[in-house]
Structure formats: C-alpha cells, structure tokens
Structure 1
Amino acid sequence: MIPGSFEYHRPDSVASALEILAEYGDEARAIAGGHSLIPMMKLRMADVGHLVDLQAIADLKGITVQGDTIIIGAMTTQQELISSAELASAAPILREASLQIADPQVRYVGTIGGNVANGDPGNDLPGLMQCLDAQYTLAGRDGTREVAARDFYEAAYFTAREDDEILVSIKFRATTGGYAYEKQKRKIGDYATAAAAVLIAKDGATCSFASIAMTNLSDTPVWCEAAADALVGSSLDQAAIDAAVAAMLETIDPQEDNRGPVEFKNHVAGVILRRAIERAASRA
C-alpha cells in the first residue's frame, strides 16, 4: 500500500523541528530512520499530515566518550554504533546488540533514537538502555529534561515523551566487567522472540554487580532488579542463575502471537537469559 498525502519538512535545527511540531500539533510526526513510522503510514495505521524529517540536524548526531560518560546523539545510526572503536571499548555490549538488529540495510539508516523513542516492545535497544541505566534527554519548546530509560516506557507505543518533544541524546556510563546480549529470532531481520541484556561485575570470585533486562516479552522492556539481586553476592553458580531466571520469569508477561504460545516464549526466555548470564560471567 501507499500512505496518504502529507507535507514533508526537513528542518536543519532542533529549534526549527520543534516549531514545526508545535505549529501542526497532532497532524505532525517526527521521523528518524523511518523503519517503524513508514510501514504504519503505508498500512494507513498512522495518519500523518506533516512529516518532520530529522536527518539534516547535525546536532542530533555523534558519539562522545568523556571519561566514563557516554553521550550518543539520537540520529546516530546503528552502523555508526557498530563501527565506533571508542564506543566498542567503552560499552561493548552496545556493539554486540547493534549487530543483531535486523540486517545491514536497516542498520545503515536506522538510528538509536528511533529505536528507543517510539515504544515498540520488539525493538532491541530499549531493554539494553534499561540494563545500562541510560538517561534520555528530551527537548521541547520550554527547554530540555532528562528521563531515565527505566521510567520512559509506559505501555506498547506509549512513552513519557510528549508529542511536541524530540529525543535528542542518550547518556549512560561506560561498562566494566562482563556483558552479553543474546537474542532468539525466527529469521534474519525479525524481531526477537526473546532477547536478554546482561551486565556482570565480579570482586574476585563473587558477583559484585549485575543488571538484567529482556526484550519483547511484555508490552514494555523488562528490567528486573530481583533477577540481578539473585546474582549479586553469589559465585554465579547454577543455583544463583536458576534464581535469577526464576525471578525474570515471574516478571515478564509474554502474549501468544505468530512467534509462539506463552509456554514456548517462557521457555525461550529462560534459555536465552541463562545463556546471557553464563556468557557475561565468563567475560567478567
């Protein structure tokens, strides 16, 4: 199908983009890479009268590593996340996850901001951002504000971002210790049936820190503090891993769809999370 008619805007600054969004209100939508919005427009599931393309805004692009703080512009592409040696050193889990998003054609156009901002429960990076305890910077006509990734997602496609706001950057701390992003999907380019992001740090043989999040197993990404707590203080033995998996399975809420029934999704979630914990532990 083809979308309905719309007016196309290509502002060159955040201020200009915000002015257009404010002027046209509910009729305007910002677009980053377009992999979520354009299909919805083609299916007539989204009626957009004014499309505001953010591609020309240079201030929304780039990767900055300052000490242990990482700031990534919202229009930075997934391929740029993959190819940045500095980012791969400071937060290798982000490169590992980005390599599992769709396929190269998508990753050269798809952006980190587009992946995290629209609230699609199937996207890979929202769960990872919760695992990293990232902060999102949102810009509106009254200024900017920060929202924690763990507080940003309210329901499927509903977030804390107001309609007249734009996500401008993502900030999080560099990682240390072990990491893993595990993903099970039906075929290349598909959303995950289940995916897990895990960070682990050790003090000697004892786990001193853990963070665990999963993707596409609820209507929002799932960061599970209880699962991480089950690992902290342990030697990362099988009993501790079993407890972490059990805590996550109590937290997720998968729904039956063309990826399988609920029982299958719970099984896959347990397998994927166990693999991620074991691989992160081996790297710690």
Structure 2
Amino acid sequence: MAEAAINFFKADLRSLQFTLYEHFQIQRLFEYDYYSHMSREECDAVIDQCYRFCNEVLGPLNQIGDRVGCRFENGQVKTPEGFREAWKKLYELGLPNFPVPMAIGGFQGPVSVHVILQEMLSGANVAFNMYPGLTHGALELIAEFALEREKKLFLEPMMNGRFSGTMCLSEPHAGSDVGALTTKAVRIEGNRYKIQGTKCWISAGDHDLTENIVHMVLARVEGAPPGTKGLSLFIVPKIRVNDDGSLGEPNDVVTASIEHKLGINASATAVLNFGENDRCEGYL
C-alpha cells in the first residue's frame, strides 16, 4: 500500500501581514510609479495563492521526497514522484516571477512580498524550492548582464519553466577559495567560448523537471590574472539552443554523480564535468 502524503507545513498569515503592512508598511511603495500597478489586495491574493499551493502540493511532497530522494540512473538525475507536476503548477501560477520586471514578462511586485513567498515555499519543501530558487538567480543575471541574443534565447523559457538555472562556482579544490578555480574558457569568436573544467556541490545541477538547464559557470579566460579578478561568468546550457529557440545538440555537460546527504535529499547536488570531449560552449 502506498504511503499517504502528510502535510506538516504551517504558516501564520496574520503574522506575515503584520510584518509587511504594519512594520515595513510596504503599501507606501504603491505610491511610486514602479509599483503603481500593485495594491495590497493583489499582494494578499498572491500570498493566499502561494499558501494554498504550499498546503496542497509542496507540503505533502516534502516528507516523501526526502525519504526517496533523487536517483542517478544512466547518467541522468530523476527527481521524486510528484516533483515534475509541482514544477509545472508552480510556473502556471507564476509565483517565481512575482518580483521580475514587467519589461521581461514578470509581475514587478515588491521584493519584500517575494521574500514572504520564498519563506512559505521553502518552509513547505526546501528541497523542491532549490530548483526554482537557483533558476531565479540565473534569470536575474541574464536579464541584467547578457547580450540581447542570449536574453532572447534564455529569458522566456526560464520565465515559463521550460528551462531551469544553476550557479556553478565551486570546484573539488576550490570551495571557499573561489579564486583558486581552474575551469578555463577559450575564445571561439565574439562572446562564444569553449569551457572545460569540473564543478562540484552544484545545487539543482541536474534533474528531469525541465527540457534544459542553464548553468551560470565561473571560469578563467586564457591570459586572465590569477585570483578572483581573473574570473568571468558564462552562460552554459546543458543542451544548445538554436536561434529559433528549439533545442539543438547536447553541449558536452556531463553529470558525474550526485551527493548522498543527510537531508534535503530531493534536491540534486551534482558534480558536473564541462567539456570532457572539448565540445562545451558558453556565452560570456
């Protein structure tokens, strides 16, 4: 007999509302042009929607997901049953895009409300929330710093949940000392570079929730100075993306293993090899 899913998540909505409206008084933000399209009623509706999602979807998945964990089979990470459906529902609701500017398709809501949403999502199922959390960070970097071509290729699918994202900083010999990393980048043309190296402890580094994973990879361009001053950040998709937005060939990003942890087992913490066959490309 299958184990019944039990929800242990609880949140005091009155306490959250007190923090937002009586302590921080975020309603004053709605007087400014940037937030003039928002209101307390709309923010409360989003918070209520997130609360229901946590109680009905994420909370019940938490205990089972942690007990079952991710599986590494034939070079591919498999997330626990129910995670793919939860991912799809999360992006249908649009919750990850609440603070994202309207100029790129977001709701442009107050970051303080976004923090409340993240508090509830992580409280209900922190392992699951690692995946959209890393995606949001990668999306913000691309929106702020990428060239227009890469923005066109990656932003929309990351907004609608078709692609996810990660941050690839640490290496086996370079954890706290990030300036010691050895992943290298060799220029091909324009902002295209060949990437070669190994990254470890990469949260959400591989999974089956999305069609593609967009890795933000720290690497050192040939001739760059040592230490952190010589590092650059590259957009490295797991699967290359054609100019029309369709998926191309694999980008020589290989998952070597996932960590066996004491907790948050449904969040895949991966070791990733970039460019084992000298065919991994990234965009500066």
- TM-score where L is the length of structure 2: 0.28
CA radius of gyration, larger in: 2
Q: Is the helix fraction higher in 1 or 2?
A: 2
Q: Which has the higher contact order (CA 8 A, sep 6+)?
A: 2
- TM-score where L is the length of structure 1: 0.28
